[in-house]
A and B are shown apart, each in its own frame.
Chain A
C-alpha cells in the first residue's frame, strides 16, 4: 500500500488526533460511559496508526481485542455501577476541557433528597481546592471522577509529555532502515510465534488461562459475605466469659447472644 505523502500525512494527522482526542476525552469526561466510548475511539485511532505503519495484523488485533473484547467488558462493568452517566457530577466545578467533553450531561433529578442541593451548593466553592472536604462529606461525591491531586497529576502529565517530546527532539535520530516490510507479515509472525517465540506464546496462553480462572474464581457468587444476597452477616464476637476476680467491670451491654449486623442495615442507615 503505497500512499502518497499527502495522503499519509492526512491519515496520520486524523488517526493521531482521534487517538489523542479520545484519550483526552476518556480521562476528562464526567461520565464513565462516555469515557468508555472515548477510549474506544482512541483505540481505533491507534489501530489506524498501526495500519499506517504497515502492521496490519497488529491493527486488526487492536480492533478485535481491545475494541471488540475488552471495551465491551469495560462498558458492562461501567453500566454495572452507580451513576455511569455522571449525572451527579454535572453540577461540579470543571475545567474547560472537562466541560467540553462533559457537555450534554444533565444534572440528576434531586427529588429524593433536599440535602443534595444544599450540599452541592455548599461544596461548590472549595471543591477542588480542598479535596479533604470533598472526601469528608463525599456521599454525593461517590462517583466523582477526580482526585485531590488532579492538578498535580495534570502538571506531572504535562511535564512527562514535554520531557518525552523534548527527549525525542533532542536525541540524535535513529538509523532509519529503508527496507519495506513484507506485506504478508502475518505468515512471518505466525512462523515466529510457533517457532522462535514458542515459549512466549505458550506462556501467554497459560497466562490467559490463569487469568480466566482467576477472574471466574474472584467474580463468581461464592461464599464471600454479601455475595448474591448482598447481605453480609457479620458475627460480632460474644462477650468473653467474665474473668474470675476481675477488678474491672466488663464494659458494654451484657448481651448473651451475638448481635447480627447486616450490611443492608448499615446501607439503610446511610
Chain B
C-alpha cells in the first residue's frame, strides 16, 4: 500500500483522456473501437483501484469489472461485424464517409 490511490486514479485519468482523443480524432471505425476499449479499461482500472483502497472486503467491484469486460467484448464483436458489413458495401470504414444523415 505504498502507492497512494490517487496515483492509480491519475493513470486511469490519463488513459481516459487518451481514449477520448482517440475516439474523437480517429477516422477509422476500427480505431474508434480501440479508443472505446481504452476508455473501458480506464474505468475498470478506476473500479479496481477503489475496490482495493476503499472496500477490499466487497468483491462486487470485481464483478462489475468482469461485466464491463464482457460488454466490451460483445460491443467489439458486434461493432466489428457492422464494420465488416460496411466495408463490404462501401469499400471503406472511414466514418466521415457515412454521412447519409447529414442535414
Contacts A157-B17, A175-B54 given: A224-B48 contact, CB under 8 Å?
Answer: no
Is A168 engaged at the interface, CB distance under 8 Å to the other chain?
Answer: yes
Closest to A213 in B: B78
Is B100 engaged at the interface, CB distance under 8 Å to the other chain?
Answer: no
How far does the Cβ of A79 sit from chain B's closest Cβ, in whole Å? 11
Number of interface residues of A (CB under 8 A): 96
Per the 8 Å Cβ criterion, residues 45-93 of B in contact with A are 45, 48-57, 59-60, 62-63, 65-67, 69-78, 80-85, 87-89, 91-93
Per the 8 Å Cβ criterion, residues 52-71 of A in contact with B are 52-55, 57-58, 61-62, 65-66, 69-70
In the complex the two chains form, is A197's CB within 8 Å of B73's CB? no
Contacts A53-B8, A58-B62 given: A36-B34 contact, CB under 8 Å?
Answer: yes
Closest to B80 in A: A77
Number of interface residues of B (CB under 8 A): 76
CA distance A143 to B28 in the complex (A): 7
CA distance A11 to B20 in the complex (A): 26
Residues in B with CB closer than 8 Å to A230 are 88
The residue that A150 contacts in the complex, of B25, B34, B56, with Cβ under 8 A, is: B25
How far does the Cβ of B51 sit from chain A's closest Cβ, in whole Å? 7
In the complex the two chains form, is A77's CB within 8 Å of B45's CB? no
In the complex the two chains form, is A73's CB within 8 Å of B76's CB? yes
Chain B binding surface SS class: helix
CA distance A175 to B55 in the complex (A): 9
Is A215 engaged at the interface, CB distance under 8 Å to the other chain?
Answer: yes
Contacts A54-B52, A218-B85 given: A19-B11 contact, CB under 8 Å?
Answer: yes
In the complex the two chains form, is A74's CB within 8 Å of B34's CB? yes
Which stretch, A39-47, A103-111, A113-121, A236-244, touches the partner chain B?
A: A39-47
Closest to B23 in A: A153
Closest to A190 in B: B59
In the complex the two chains form, is A226's CB within 8 Å of B89's CB? yes
Per the 8 Å Cβ criterion, residues 103-150 of A in contact with B are 135, 142-147, 149-150
The residue that B49 contacts in the complex, of A53, A150, A214, with Cβ under 8 A, is: A53
Residues in A with CB closer than 8 Å to B82 are 218
In the complex the two chains form, is B78's CB within 8 Å of A214's CB? yes
In the complex the two chains form, is B69's CB within 8 Å of A61's CB? yes
In the complex the two chains form, is B10's CB within 8 Å of A145's CB? no
CA distance A227 to B86 in the complex (A): 11
How far does the Cβ of B18 sit from chain A's closest Cβ, in whole Å? 4
CA distance A232 to B85 in the complex (A): 13
- Which A residues are closer than 8 A to B by beta carbons? 4-6, 8-9, 12, 16, 19-20, 23-24, 26-27, 32, 35-36, 39, 42-43, 46, 49-50, 52-55, 57-58, 61-62, 65-66, 69-70, 73-74, 77-78, 80-81, 135, 142-147, 149-150, 152-154, 156-158, 160-161, 164-165, 168-169, 173-181, 185, 188-189, 192-193, 196-197, 200, 204, 207-208, 210-212, 214-216, 218-219, 224-227, 230, 232, 267
What are 24 pairs between A and B in contact, CB < 8 Å?
Answer: A4-B2, A19-B15, A20-B15, A27-B35, A35-B31, A42-B38, A46-B41, A46-B44, A58-B65, A58-B66, A62-B44, A66-B69, A77-B83, A135-B96, A142-B92, A145-B28, A149-B25, A154-B25, A160-B16, A177-B54, A208-B74, A214-B81, A219-B85, A224-B88
Sorted nearest first, the 9 A-B pairs with minimum C-beta distance are A161-B17, A5-B2, A157-B21, A211-B74, A164-B13, A153-B24, A215-B81, A153-B25, A27-B22
